[in-house]
Amino acid sequence: MSDQLEILLESNSGIAQAELLAGRLEEAFQKSIPIIIDGSAITRVDTSVLQLLYSFCAAMKETGVSVSWKEPSDELCQAADNLGVKTLLGLPF
């Protein structure tokens, strides 16, 4: 069993994909291992997914397990900034 898990976010991460992503994030949360979220492919993201990511990051932080980002796309960073959650998600400036 590896000591960390990578989650790749889809290019189009909108409300239609939110339920599936929620399942994957919850599964990852249950594993209690450090998570790397690959946001490099994201070209479109909406409030539902950003809220979900925040919910995940906050829960992970509470349990003391690390979450890090891998090459978050500009679109992802910009959207998080526009929604006021960029800092909360730990995305780079």
Residues that bind other proteins in the complex, under the rule CB under 8 A: 15, 18-19, 21-22, 25-26, 29, 46-48, 50-52, 54-56, 58-59, 62, 79, 81-85, 88
Q: How far is CA 49 from CA 2, 10, 21, 56, 66, in A?
A: 26, 11, 8, 10, 19
Residue closer to other proteins by CB (options 38, 44) is: 44
Q: Provide the minimum distance between the beta carbon of 41 and other proteins in the complex, in angstroms, as a whole number.
A: 18
Residue closer to other proteins by CB (options 3, 62) is: 62
- CA 93, CA 89: separation in Å to the nearest integer? 11
